[in-house]
Amino acid sequence: MSATPPLPRWADLVLLPLINLAAAFLVCGLIVLAIGEDPIKALQVMINGAFVYPGSLGYTLYYTTNFIFTGLAVAVAFHAQMFNIGGEGQAYVGGLGAALVGLFVAPYLPSIVAIPLAVGAAALFGAAWAFIPGYLQAKRDSHIVITTIMFNFLAGALMVWLLAGPLIQPGQQSPQSSEIAASSFLPTLQGMMGNFGVKVANSPLNMSFGIALLAMLVFYILIWKTRLGYNIRAVGKNQQAARYAGINVPRVIIITLAISGGFAGLMATNEILGVNHRAVLNFTAGYGFTGIAVALMGRNHPIGIFLASLLFGALYQGGAELDFEFKSITREMVLLIQGMIILFSGALAHMFNPPLARFLAKVLPGKGDQDV
Amino acid sequence: MSDFWMQLLLTFDATLRVATPLMLCAMAGIFSERSGVVDISLEGKLLTGAFVAAAVASLTGSAWLGLFAAIAASMTMSMIHGFATITHKGDQVVSGVAINLLASGITVITGIALFHRGGQTPSLFGDARFHKIELPLVETFDAIPVFGTIYRELISGHSILTYIALLAVPMASLVLYRTRFGLRLRAVGEVPEAVDSAGISVTWLRYRALLVGGALCGIAGAYLSTSHGANFVREMSAGKGYIALAAVIFGNWRPLRALMACLLFGFLDAATPRLQGVEFPVIGEIPSELMLAAPYIITVLLLAGFIGKPTPPAAIGQPYDK
């Protein structure tokens, strides 16, 4: 292994992710072929469904919003070498925070106060749900992967209990809360553009997309421009060294996890404040797990996370189109693609790296050789 | 026998049924994790096994063929995990997440392609299912007061796969603690360097541990869809793989203790429907969500060191670099 030359930076950042992505799609294409359908046609249907049909781009960006939040959540923890697999539960509980404000506080407030409060509550509840596993990891050495998995299930049980019990809409049988106050609805793009007389096709895209873009900026500044971000990265690179340098490692771990949970909780702004306008069962729908794929593909950088989120947004929206066009391929195809992407760009990250590096070292005129 | 005791007996009986896939998956988890490979893909392997067992049983009419196919499919998933984490030294948790997603996707896609029933498989009848088997001497023991009832209701009358699961626990214990393979497997999860320097292949040992785990998860999957249930429905593993993982931790990575955890978790599950609407003195009715969440709460408390302290294998989660 030591004979492997280093990969050039551009290849590491652009070429390798593309190769991994291509491998994932190739395997999925073979599976589609195996069940007797045309993979090229399936891809076309997905692209049309994601970008071409009227309103489809709005839907794609609506899904993208969710993935930006959950992707940032996983990525911030990755920077501290922590695996937060609990984005699903944190987003779920974040939705509880947003809904509680929307139900009980917002009716007495104008939008300009109600919306920031509800958004803040989503982040705060998500952060609190991640704080506990973070605390247990930092202070009691409980493995974060296991505790966050357990907390996903606990969030599920808590929400079922609340939505079928104390928070259930009076007179309703299905487990969901009453509608939140209109002052806490996030304005849709359609509505906002309508104010300026611009017509936009119908889609659920709303202000939370803007919040997501803002969150990316916050993420960038936090990780690379602040002392806390430096500490997070130092803990991620080498805990011993970080402790020796005077960094309070347990504190940094707890704060990182809380921030991570906060990002995940913000996902609820899109689903609860933007679209459903009430707390419903399982609104997280696996978006938290997709965040893992997004962070891995996006290399824990906001730009990469945005591109990966866009990809997954397109996959989700285009995948829904598969249901209409095909008899035997459905949107579950997206789960498969997602699994393959995590496998190739995450678990098998080291597979294509050495051969590619050797190949490039041979092909490219060798300024690397002179260094060696 | 009074009504209460009969109810309790029936709850224990249900406990064994619910705990069967947990026991098998927990043993799978122990083999894999004792060799140093984190296995959160128990869930995905269980789901894969369940689908393949039901699909093959439905196509061939044989539950046994379904079982063998489930074992093969689940072992294949294990090999993907091994290829990524042992051969290519990938992150074991990431690989596990990938396998769980792959399983969720491919079971539904193949199910729809084969059966056109929205991801379900057709209902299984006759030989395509594992049925309850009556142990010998049930009639004879009926004459004995208490024991006869216990034998008839609790010990007899389970699927063969439940008995296999019960047997898997002492077998796992025996293999891990009384064979050369088991000794080496435990060593490779603690100090892989030592095993390597003794000239034994770390890679091959870990692959074998994963293969054993895959086989056990396959049996557990077959139990879900061809014995406990009568067909495959999407996401039918419903978190059981994660509960089994909790049982592994709760059992401190030891087979017999993990069995106890599986039975405890199974009992909580089996008791839940029976306790609905029952008012307890002082505390009143227990919400069923709390009962279902109990395994997770207990595991978190354990991990936090409030009930004993778990000691995971020392080299767990680390790819071995020569």
Tell me the H-state helices in A205-301.
Answer: 208-225, 227-237, 239-244, 249-268, 287-297
Q: Does B260 touch chain A (CB under 8 A)?
A: no
**Nearest CB to A146 within list B100, B303, B305:** B303
Walk along chain B (322 residues) and give the pLDDT tens digit of each residue: 578 888 889 999 999 999 999 999 999 999 999 999 999 999 999 999 999 999 999 999 999 999 999 999 999 999 999 999 999 999 999 999 999 999 999 999 999 999 988 889 999 999 999 999 888 888 888 888 888 888 888 888 899 999 999 999 999 999 999 999 999 999 999 999 999 999 999 999 999 999 999 999 999 999 999 999 999 999 999 899 999 999 999 899 999 999 999 999 999 989 888 887 777 777 777 888 888 898 899 888 888 887 777 788 998 888 888 7
Nearest-CA distance from B106 to chain A in Å?
6
Nearest-CA distance from A108 to chain B in Å?
33
Nearest-CA distance from B310 to chain A in Å?
9
Nearest-CA distance from B132 to chain A in Å?
32
CB B71 within 8 A of CB B242: no
Interchain contact, A346 vs B85, CB within 8 Å: no
**Nearest CB to A154 within list B108, B297, B304:** B297
| Helix%, strand%, coil% for chain B, nearest 5 | 70, 0, 25
B159: enclosing H helix or E strand: strand B158-159
Chain B, window 220-239: residues with a beta carbon less than 8 angstroms from a chain A beta carbon: 239
> Can you tell me which residue has the tokens 């189109």?
A321
CB B275 within 8 A of CB B286: yes
C-alpha closest to that of A213 among A266, A256, A258, A288: A266
What is the per-residue pLDDT for A190? 84
C-alpha closest to that of B69 among B51, B83, B92: B51
C-alpha closest to that of A85 among A290, A302, A331, A355: A290
Q: Does B287 touch chain A (CB under 8 A)?
A: yes
The strand pairing partners of B284, in sequence order, are B280
Q: Is the pLDDT of residue A371 over 60?
A: no
Tell me the H-state helices in A55-110.
Answer: 56-79, 87-100
Q: What is the token pair recorded at A145?
A: 């992967």
Q: Does B85 touch chain A (CB under 8 A)?
A: yes
Best mutation target, B38, B48, B91, B94, to test chain A (most A CBs within 10 A): B94
Q: Does B94 touch chain A (CB under 8 A)?
A: yes
Q: Which residues of A touch B249 (CB under 8 A)?
A: 146
Q: Is the pLDDT of residue A115 over 60?
A: yes
Q: Which residues of A touch B89 (CB under 8 A)?
A: 350
What is the per-residue pLDDT for A11? 83
pLDDT digits (tens, 9 = 90+) for A257-304: 999 999 999 999 999 999 999 999 999 989 999 999 999 989 999 999
Q: Which residues of B touch A291 (CB under 8 A)?
A: none
Q: Does B131 touch chain A (CB under 8 A)?
A: no
Burial of A215 (0-12, 13-18, 19+ CB in 10 A): buried
**Nearest CB to A332 within list B90, B100, B105:** B105
Is the C-alpha dihedral spanning B44, B45, B50, B56 positive or negative?
A: positive
Interchain contact, A350 vs B90, CB within 8 Å: yes
Q: Is the pLDDT of residue A367 over 70?
A: no
Nearest-CA distance from B149 to chain A in Å?
36
Q: How far apart (Å, rounded) are the C-alpha atoms in residues B216 and B103?
A: 16
> Can you tell me which residue has the tokens 């064979």?
B179
Q: Does B194 touch chain A (CB under 8 A)?
A: no
Question: Dihedrals φ, ψ of B198, to 5°?
Answer: -85, 5
Residue type for position A297:
M
Confidence of residue A327 (pLDDT cuts 50, 70, 90): confident
Q: Is the pLDDT of residue A369 over 60?
A: no
DSSP B284: B
Burial of B18 (0-12, 13-18, 19+ CB in 10 A): buried
ipTM, 2 dp: 0.89
**Crossing angle of the two packed helices A208-225 and A227-237, in degrees rounded to 10:** 70
Q: How far apart (Å, rounded) are the C-alpha atoms in residues A133 and A61?
A: 31
Q: Is the pLDDT of residue A349 over 90?
A: no
- Most confidently modeled range among A7-21, A206-220, B259-273: A206-220
**Nearest CB to B104 within list A36, A330, A335:** A335
**Nearest CB to B90 within list A145, A328, A349:** A349
What is the per-residue pLDDT for A61? 96
Q: How far apart (Å, rounded) are the C-alpha atoms in residues A12 and B185?
A: 36
Cβ-Cβ pairs closer than 8 A, A with B, add up to 149
Q: Alpha carbon of A151 to those of A158, A171, A176: distances in Å?
A: 10, 31, 21
Is the C-alpha dihedral spanning B212, B213, B216, B221 positive or negative?
A: negative
Question: In Å, how far from its chain's centre is CA B139?
Answer: 32
Q: How far apart (Å, rounded) are the C-alpha atoms in residues B314 and B322?
A: 17
Chain B, window 33-52: residues with a beta carbon less than 8 angstroms from a chain A beta carbon: 38, 40
Residue type for position A237:
K
Chain B's closest residue to A138, CA to CA, is B304
Mean pLDDT for chain A overall: 91
Chain B's closest residue to A350, CA to CA, is B88
Percent of the residues in chain A that have a pLDDT greater than 70, as a whole number: 97
